[in-house]
Every structure is written in structure tokens, then in C-alpha cells.
Amino acid sequence: MEILGTNPGGCAVIREELSGWLGSLGRYSPQSKDGTDRAFYCAMRDGAPHDYQRKTTGSIHLDAAAGSLLSAVQPDRVLEIKLPTADGLMQRFMPLMMREARGYQDKVGVDDVKALLQPVRDRLAAIPPVMQRDPYGQLVPIPYKLTAEGAELYQKFADDMRLVARMPDPSREFGECLNKLGPMWLSFALLFHLIETEGGESVSFAVAQRADAIIREFFIPHAHQFYDLLGGGSSVHGARSVATAILRCPKDEIVLRDVVHRCRAMRGKDRNAQVQLMQKFETFGWLTRLDRYGTAHPRWRRTAGLVERFAEELKREEAARAAMTAAIKADASAKRKAASAG
């Protein structure tokens, strides 16, 4: 609290192990209960004003209780520790699934990256808020606004998140995570706007598109993989199969049967479950719905450039599929020869 009180712009906490941070919650609370700490960290996501009362040192007023937490945890430990999902604390994080670790090697250019980011950080910290008086005569910051096209894009994002959040796959917690991404979408739009412009109250449509893309194409797939891991890891394989089928469709305009025909994971599911799987790829930014929800024959448009972007991965997927088919045929041929010889 004291640190936030002297840093109105917020602060960041960096912990090497997420389990250590979770274990510290409630350490100074009566009976070591962590409910108060967890509620405070949930509120930090919004950066709202906060008052903290203490008997000995007096009260602390925070104009903006804003902070970030950066930590890491091994996938195996995720399943062992009790993650705080019941009150939505974990769903306020943005999980990133790292690739398999490789041997250590020196990287050239790390200092260049720091030199590039530091002036951006300093410039953002130095931007003064533009103030105005509200109807009660108090000074408040003038809000930044999206353009009409940007507001429509954000509304589409919010509608997509509400729709897909109802799905049980991969988990209820994943749906809650999607429902909390709206403020993060707006935060990225504002961040990009402040980095790329000298100010101005209007956030351009191009900036809103970049915010939409990074949430849909980067953060949501990582979150899906993370919550699938918490649920046992049964959902990612099916999603990968649907993704391959979407990429293999010969045309950018896709109907449901095009994907069902090319994806074994879709077969045997009822139509509603099939449509829900496709809607998940709307949230990933892969597809755009071309008709109204609830129509008998839904149609989607595949995002331009998607096949080219995943061409190498699709090639590896098809090579692995061909190798597996060849291995199965070779095994079957060997068994037939053994049976005939016997």
C-alpha cells in the first residue's frame, strides 16, 4: 500500500515463482486468511481509487490502485498448486505458454531492445492527463474515445467474448477469462495510441484494429491452451484438428460441412457443438460470421492471409499426418505377412 501511495502511476511486482506469490497472500492478515489480499489484487486490474484503513498508521488513499504482476510457473506445478479461480483473480491474468526450453545461448541485441523500450516507457510516464471539470465542479481526466468504426469493432469483440464464454470447453474459467478481456482490449488501444501519436482524444480505427488483433490472435490462443492444461489437456487436440481443416479449405468462404468433411474431431458431434467449435475460431480472429446467428446453414469468411501465415505449420502437420498413415499401413502389411507366413 505504501509503495502504491507514493507511485500514483502504478507499480509492477516481479516474482520468479507464481506459487511463492500465492503463498504470500494473507501473510499479514488475521488467521492468515487471504481473502482481503485477493480482493485487493482483483481491484487492481481496474486501477480505481482505493482507501485502506489501519488502526496504527492511519488510512492510505490511492488515487489509482493500479499494478502489474509478472511471474512464471512450470506446467507441472500448475496442476499441483491451488490457483485462485473461484473469485476471478486468476482470470485477470494474461497467461503466456512458453515453448519447450532449449539449451542456453547468448543472444545479440538484448541491450538494443532495452534502449528501444526505455524512451517509450519514459515518454508514457511523462504524459500529463488533460483535465476538465465534471458537473460537480471537480477536476477529472478527459477520456479518450474510439472512432465510430473503432467502437463498432470493440462491440463486435465484446459480443464475441460473451458468446464463446458460455461454452463449457475447455472450462468455465476460460469463459470467465474471456469475459474480462474487454478492459484489456481498451488498454491496448490506448497504449498503442499514446505510443504512436503525440496525443489527441480520438483513438484511430487502425490502432483499434491492432488492439483487436493482438488480443484475438495472440492472447486468447495462449489462454485457451492454459485453461485446457488446467482441465487435463483434452481440448487442444480437437482445436488443432479444426484449425487444420479450416486452413485446408480451398476457398475463403467456408460452410460448416466443409470443415466437418475434413475434420474427424467434428464428426459425431451434434450441430450445435460443431457451430460452437467454429465460433471459438471467431474469437481467435480466424473467421468472420457472414450470416445471422441461428441460421440453418452458417457461413464464415476466413481471414485474409491466414493460410500464408500458417503455411509452414500446415506443411508440418500434413507431413506428420502422411508419416502416421504410412506407419499404420506398414504395420498392417507386416501383420498380414506374418499371418500368411504362419
Last residue of a domain, one of 185, 217, 232: 232
Asked whether residue 129 is assigned to any structural domain, the reply reads no
Asked whether residue 263 is assigned to any structural domain, the reply reads no
Q: Are residues 77 and 152 in the same domain?
A: no
Asked whether residue 287 is assigned to any structural domain, the reply reads no
Q: Is the dihedral angle over the CA atoms 218, 222, 225, 227 positive or is it negative?
A: negative
Q: What's the rounded Cα separation, in Å, for the pair 19 and 17?
A: 5
- List the one residue out of 135, 10, 2, 115 whose CA is nearest residue 69: 10
Whether omega before 170 lies within 30 degrees of 0, making that bond cis, reads yes
Last residue of a domain, one of 232, 248, 269: 232
Q: Are residues 25 and 89 in the same domain?
A: yes
Q: What is the pLDDT of residues 107-135, one digit of tens each?
A: 666 667 778 788 888 888 777 777 788 78
**Contact (Cβ atoms closer than 8 angstroms) between residue 223 and residue 176:** no
Per-residue 3-state assignment (H helix, E strand, C coil) for the chain: CHHHHCCCCCEEEEECCHHHHHHHCCCCCHHHCCHHHHHHHHHHCCCCCEEECCCCCCCEEECCCCEEEEECCCHHHHHHCCCCCCCCCHHHCCCCCCCCCCCCCCCCCHHHHHHHHHHHHHHHHHCCCCEEECCCCCEEECCCEECHHHHHHHHHHHHHHHHHHCCCCCCHHHHHHHHCHHHHHHHHHHHHHHHHCCCCCEECHHHHHHHHHHHHHHHHHHHHHHHHHHCCCCHHHHHHHHHHHHHHCCCCEEEHHHHHHHCHHHCCCCHHHHHHHHHHHHHCCCEEECCCCCCCCCEEEECCCHHHHCHHHHHHHHHHHHHHHHHHHHHHHHHHHHHHHC
Asked whether residue 171 is assigned to any structural domain, the reply reads yes
Last residue of a domain, one of 183, 202, 232: 232
Residue range(s) defining the domain that contains residue 39: 2-93
> What is the residue whose three cell numbers read 481491484?
43
Q: Are residues 228 and 153 in the same domain?
A: yes
Q: Which residues of 71-83 are buried (b: 16+ CB within 10 A; e: fewer)?
A: eebeeeeeeeeeb
Q: Are residues 213 and 146 in the same domain?
A: yes
Q: What's the rounded Cα separation, in Å, for the pair 12 and 237?
A: 35
Asked whether residue 241 is assigned to any structural domain, the reply reads no
- At residue 33, the pLDDT reads 60
Asked whether residue 301 is assigned to any structural domain, the reply reads no
Q: Are residues 85 and 163 in the same domain?
A: no
Asked whether residue 269 is assigned to any structural domain, the reply reads no
Phi, psi of 14 (to 5 degrees): -115, 115
Cα–Cα distances in angstroms (integers) from residue 231 to residues 172, 248, 329, in the given order? 10, 29, 34
Quick one: cell of 8?
A: 500514483
Number of structural domains in the chain: 2
Q: Are residues 148 and 85 in the same domain?
A: no
Asked whether residue 16 is assigned to any structural domain, the reply reads yes
Q: Is the dihedral angle over the CA atoms 26, 29, 33, 34 positive or is it negative?
A: negative
- Residue ranges, the chain, pLDDT below 50: none
> What is the residue whose three cell numbers read 501511495?
5
